[in-house]
Structure 1
Amino acid sequence: MTYRSRTAFRVVGALLTGAVLGGTAACTAGGAAGDRSGASARPDATTVAAVQRAATKGAGLNSLSYRVSGKVPGQGAVKGKASFSLRPRVVEMRMTASGGLQEGEFSVRLVRDAVYVGGGEQAAVVLGGKHWLKLAMTDQGAGGFGGMQRQADQDPAAQASLLPGSDDVRKVGEETVDGVRTTHYAGVVDVAKAAKAAKAAKKPTGKRSSGAERRTKVIEQYQELGVSELKLDLWVGPGDRTVKFRQRARATQGPLDISIRFLDVNKPVTVQAPPASDTVDPEAKLKGASRRLG
């Protein structure tokens, strides 16, 4: 691989990391999971049941649009908007990063079995004038893109579903979020304990429910970041719908603090792959080179 190609992988790969972790994924949330002021001393059945209802409602989502903002380990501040659908599986993120190793605006699209990363003119500088980099979802080891599928599968609803498993889940109080009256809940989640619970959730057939499978993916993502403890805040509105969600933790590369404002729920999400003429496909180039070399 040429020096130019390696540089492209590093630059766009860093951009992608910031984007997909931000999908983990609104205005910066108020309140703190570690702040117990105004909260009950111990969790009660009513609180746990209310949080579980919101988690169950979130687990039933097929599609979601949301705003995201906060700090990502090793990437600085990120903000933007994202939409995803599980069936069909598509994702689109438009993000801005600042204060980290890579800065600027960029986009991520997941369409069928491929991830497309666009870094605007910054990417064009290292991609020979093209604006998008394509990576097959099955390619888990190319150019520092290991774990791509798990990262592209970020699922805010599944992240929020970890809160009912907190040993100290509690009601913080009533708050208004963007004009919506909500109830604010908070708690701390032990990631190792959550992983054990997810493993125990397997059915006798060895399979998990759809919701359990989504939580398992989320837990694996936190473990890869080196997160041992999560501080979670959840704002629940009418109909047990999650209005806002915040996650904070100390990861290997620094602090994680992401806030997500849920927007459109279960509305169609359509994502188009970028034009092939404006896309660099490293896999296709490698296959071409392999054929030429026999």
Structure 2
Amino acid sequence: MAYRSRTAPRVVGALLTGAVLGGTAACTAGGAAGGRAGASGRSDAATVAAVQRAVSKGTGLNSLSYRVSGKVPGQGSVKGKASFSLRPRVVEMRMTASGGVQEGEFSVRLVGGAVYVGGGGQAAAVLDGKHWLKLAVTDDGAGGFGGMQRQADQDPAVQASLLPGSDDVRKVGEETVDRVRTTHYAGVVDVAEAAKKPAGKRPLAGERRTKVIEQYRELGVSELKLDLWVGPGDRTVKFRQRARATQGPLDLSIRFLDVNKPVTVQAPPASDTVDPEQKLKEASRRLG
């Protein structure tokens, strides 16, 4: 099974690209340096309350579609679109990466307890002409691909939940985003301090927030710059995250699209999919 060792880096690359998705991903800056410049002292209660209302609506979502673009540490520039639903639990990401170790188009689908990773012609070149690799998703993250499961449990709205905890969250001003009138808020978050603060009243939201913080720590991020654009009805319209990670700058902008609308994800045809687990079972039967 020579395809395994050659495909694994592409799988990991696709995961990081989507992340962060989710991917997903929430901070800013060409780096942490100069982090709190422009802050006007400690946050005022009205500003924090406005941001918290937007965050509360975001973390209560069951489904979301969004566009993402920017830079991911070690992966170069990325852009694409993603949709996810928590009930039923499905994810679909379509990403393009350039200027990094992994380049090209990648697709990730999570459906029916399995994650499918595709890379178009690139995947076909190493998968005997097939375009998708199927991986089992397990609760303990076995097999080295537990990140796929973590990604399915995260979303940009959860990443934005770190902003109200910033010591200098502030109102930047009124701005128009894609013809939508919004209020722009910003702040700097210390990752270590964020980990010490209460996660919130909803157990699931708290668990997802904790996983987001762990993800930033794994990237070597100590300080985040977060920007949030809030539109009518306290709905998040856009979110940006910037930071300096171990492997380079993180700078992702996420434009929220459809909220709480049905998300349907189809598993790729079995005839166009390589299933390593099934191949191992078949080999085991042949060997007795």
SS in 2 for 1:87: coil
Equivalent in 204, 219, 233 of residue 225 of structure 1 = 219
Name the structure 2 match of 1:103.
103
Q: Cα offset for 1:31? A: 12
Equivalent in 203, 206, 212 of residue 209 of structure 1 = 203
- Residues 47-66 of structure 1 correspond to what in structure 2 (within 5 A)? 47-66=47-66
Q: Cα offset for 1:171? A: 0.8
Q: Cα offset for 1:223? A: 1.7
Stretches of structure 2 that go unaligned for 5 or more consecutive residues are none
Give the letter aligned to residue 95 of structure 2.
M
Name the structure 1 match of 2:284.
290
SS in 2 for 1:231: strand
Q: Cα offset for 1:290? A: 2.8
Measure the CA separation in 1 of the matches of 2:173 and 2:196: 31
Q: How many residues end up aligned between the 2 structures?
A: 282
Per-residue CA deviations over 1:86-111 (Å, capped at 9, x if unaligned) read 11111111111100111111111011
User: What do you get for the CA RMSD once the two structures are aligned?
Assistant: 2.3
- Residues 118 and 256 from structure 1, CA distance in 2 versus in 1: closer, same or farther, beyond 3 angstroms? same
SS in 2 for 1:52: helix
SS in 2 for 1:147: helix
Check the 8 A contact 1:23/1:68 in 2, yes or no: no
Check the 8 A contact 2:64/2:256 in 1, yes or no: yes
Name the structure 1 match of 2:141.
140
SS in 2 for 1:149: helix
Measure the CA separation in 2 of the matches of 1:161 and 1:60: 11
Moved more, 56-65 or 16-25: 16-25
Name the structure 2 match of 1:277.
271
- Residues 31 and 48 from structure 1, CA distance in 2 versus in 1: closer, same or farther, beyond 3 angstroms? farther
Normalising to structure 1: TM-score of the pair?
Answer: 0.89
- Residues 180 and 36 from structure 1, CA distance in 2 versus in 1: closer, same or farther, beyond 3 angstroms? farther
Identity of aligned residues (%): 79
- Residues 247-286 of structure 1 correspond to what in structure 2 (within 5 A)? 247-286=241-280
Per-residue CA deviations over 1:205-237 (Å, capped at 9, x if unaligned) read xxx622212211211211221211111000001
Name the structure 1 match of 2:86.
86
Q: Cα offset for 1:11? A: 2.6
Check the 8 A contact 1:22/1:69 in 2, yes or no: no
SS in 1 for 2:67: strand
Measure the CA separation in 2 of the matches of 1:16 and 1:100: 14
Per-residue CA deviations over 1:44-97 (Å, capped at 9, x if unaligned) read 000000000001111111110100000011100000111011111111111111
Name the structure 1 match of 2:151.
151
- Residues 17-28 of structure 1 correspond to what in structure 2 (within 5 A)? 17-25=16-24
Give the letter aligned to residue 217 of structure 1.
K
Check the 8 A contact 2:68/2:80 in 1, yes or no: yes
Measure the CA separation in 2 of the matches of 1:78 and 1:136: 26
Measure the CA separation in 2 of the matches of 1:209 and 1:225: 25
Give the letter aligned to residue 213 of structure 2.
I
